[in-house]
Structure 1
Amino acid sequence: MRVIPIVLAAVFLWAPSTLALDVPNNDGFVTDHAQVLTTQQESDLEGVLSLYKQETTNEIAILAIPSLEGEVIADFAVEVGRAWGVGSSENDNGIVIIFSLEDREIFIATGYGLEGAVPDIVAKGVIEEEILPHFRLEDYSTGLLAGVEALKLHIGGEYTAERYDRDQEGSLPWGYLIFFGIAFLEFLIAFLGRTKSWWLGGVLGAAAGLILWLIMSWWFALPALALFGFVFDFIVSKNHASHSSKWKKHGMIYWLGGGRGGKGGGFGGFGGGSFGGGGAGGRW
Structure 2
Amino acid sequence: MTRPATAAVRGEGTIVRCSRFSVAIALTVALAPTPSHPGRAETRPLPISPAHPSRAETRPSPLPNPLGYVSDHAGVLDAEWKARIRSVCQDLERKTGVELVVVTVPSTRPYATAKDYGSALYERWGIGTAQQDHGLLVLAVAERRQATVTVGKGLLGVITPPTIEGIGNTYLEPAFRAGRYGEGLYRATVALAAVVQEIRVGEPPRSHLKGLGIFLTLLTSVGALWFLWWIARPDLRHPYGRLRRGEFWGSGQGGFGGNFGGFGGGMSGEGLK
Return the offset for 1:39: 2.1
How far, CA to CA, are the matches of 1:135 and 1:65 in structure 2?
14
Residues 93 and 111 of structure 1 are in contact (CA less than 8 Å); yes or no, is this contact kept in structure 2? yes
Root-mean-square deviation (Å)? 3.0
> What one-letter code is carried by the residue in structure 1 that aligns with 2:71?
T
- Closer, same or farther: CA 14–93 of 1 in aligned 2, 3 Å: closer
Q: 2:153 aligns with which of 103, 112, 118?
A: 112
Q: Deviations over 1:151-205 (max 9, x none)?
A: 12222367517949xxxxxxxxxxxxxxxxxxxxxxxxxxxxxxxxxxxxxxxxx
Residue number in structure 2 paired with 1:268: 267
TM-score, with structure 2 as normaliser: 0.52
CA displacement, residues 198-224 of structure 1 (integer Å, 9 cap, x when unaligned): xxxxxxxxxxxxxxxxxxxxxxxxxxx
| 1:68 aligned residue | 108
TM-score (norm 1): 0.50
- Cross-structure match for 1:56: 96
Q: How does 1:182-221 map to 2 (within 5 A)?
A: none
From the superposition, tell whether residues 93 and 77 of structure 1 become closer, same or farther in structure 2 (CA, over 3 Å): same
CA deviation after TM superposition for structure 1 residue 120, in Å: 2.0
Is residue 160 of structure 1 aligned with residue 221 of structure 2?
Answer: yes
Change (3 A) 1:21 1:103: farther
Shift of 1:83: 1.2
Q: CA deviation at 1:270?
A: 6.5
Q: Give 1:267 deviation, angstroms.
A: 1.4
8 Å Cα contact 1:84-1:270 kept in structure 2: no
Structure 1 distance, partners of 2:64, 2:126, is: 13
List runs of 5+ in structure 2 lacking aligned partners. 1-47, 199-218, 227-264
Give the number of equivalent residue pairs: 160
CA gap 1:131/1:88 in 2 versus in 1, 3 angstroms: same
Q: Specify which of 50, 73, 79 is matched with residue 39 of structure 1.
A: 79
Query: Match for 2:107: what amino acid?
Result: S
| 2:162 paired residue number | 121
- Contact conserved, 2:88 with 2:193, CA < 8 A, in 1? no
Aligned pair 1:26/2:66, yes or no? yes
SS at match of 1:31: strand
Secondary structure (helix, strand or coil) at the match of 1:160 reads helix
- CA change 1:23–1:89 in 2 (3 A) is same
User: Unaligned 5+ residue runs, structure 1?
Assistant: 1-12, 165-265, 273-284
Report how far residue 269 of structure 1 moved: 4.2
Answer 1 or 2: higher relative contact order, Cα 8 Å, separation at least 6: 1
Residues 1:47 and 1:14: Cα distance change in structure 2 (over 3 Å): closer
Map of 1:89 onto structure 2: 130
Per the alignment, residue 149 of structure 1 pairs with 190
Between Structure 1 and Structure 2, which shows a larger proportion of helix residues?
A: 1
Report the Cα distance in structure 2 between the residues aligned to 1:66 and 1:270, rounded to whole angstroms: 28
- Tell me how far 1:91 sits from its aligned partner: 2.1
The letter for the 2-side match of 1:46 is R
Q: Secondary structure at the match of 2:88?
A: helix
Structure with greater Cα Rg: 1
Distance change in 2, residues 1:15/1:27 (3 Å): closer
CA contact (8 A) 1:85 1:271 kept: no
